[in-house]
């Protein structure tokens, strides 16, 4: 019985201990993170997008837009791909610091940002992940940016 168990274990071990590449791990990360974050954004009722715990904090809608913008910056820096433009309506709202962010526009922007990140990560070569880039305040490899 023990011999049979260890034979099965020996055959299964390569699959269990198989290495996952950095691009595969990041692609999986962005997919799971994107699905969850977009689901949360969709669940919030439109009239609650202006909710803010205190006036000094971002509203829920502003936070959704902030996450999308951070995604675009991080994935453009990491991949070297050009950063997509921010939709005009979102850009205008950010400039005016409006608390009444449009839910549909914010969810679309968030979805587009995760789609860009998935494409950006998938386009990267293993060499790009260790390539050092200079960002405004720090030097980092692309995987860290």
Mean pLDDT of 33-45: 97
Residue that wins the pLDDT comparison between 144 and 109: 109
Give residue-wise pLDDT tens across range 6-21. Answer: 444 445 545 544 577 7
Q: How far apart are CA 65 and CA 36, in angstroms?
A: 15
pLDDT at 101 over 70: yes
pLDDT of 78: 86
CA distances from 43 to 4, 32, 48, 76, 126 (A): 50, 17, 10, 28, 37
pLDDT of 66: 94
21-141: which CATH architecture?
Answer: Up-down Bundle (1.20)
Cβ pair 117, 30 in contact under 8 A: yes
Confidence of residue 51 (pLDDT cuts 50, 70, 90): very high
Cβ neighbours for 122, distance < 8 A, ≥ 6 positions apart: 23, 27
């Amino acid at each position: 019985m023990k011999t049979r168990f260890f034979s099965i274990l020996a055959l299964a071990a390569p699959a269990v201990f198989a290495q996952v590449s950095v691009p595969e791990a990041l692609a999986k990360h962005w997919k799971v993170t994107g699905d969850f974050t977009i689901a949360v954004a969709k669940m919030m009722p439109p009239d609650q997008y202006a909710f803010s715990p205190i006036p000094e904090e971002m509203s829920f809608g502003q936070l959704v837009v902030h996450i999308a913008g951070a995604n675009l910056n991080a994935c453009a820096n990491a991949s070297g791909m050009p950063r997509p433009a921010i939709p005009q309506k979102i850009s205008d709202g950010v400039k005016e610091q409006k608390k009444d962010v449009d839910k549909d526009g914010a969810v679309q922007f968030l979805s587009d940002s995760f789609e860009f990140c998935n494409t950006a990560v998938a386009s990267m070569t293993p060499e790009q992940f260790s390539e050092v880039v200079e960002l405004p305040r720090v030097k980092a490899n692309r995987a860290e940016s």
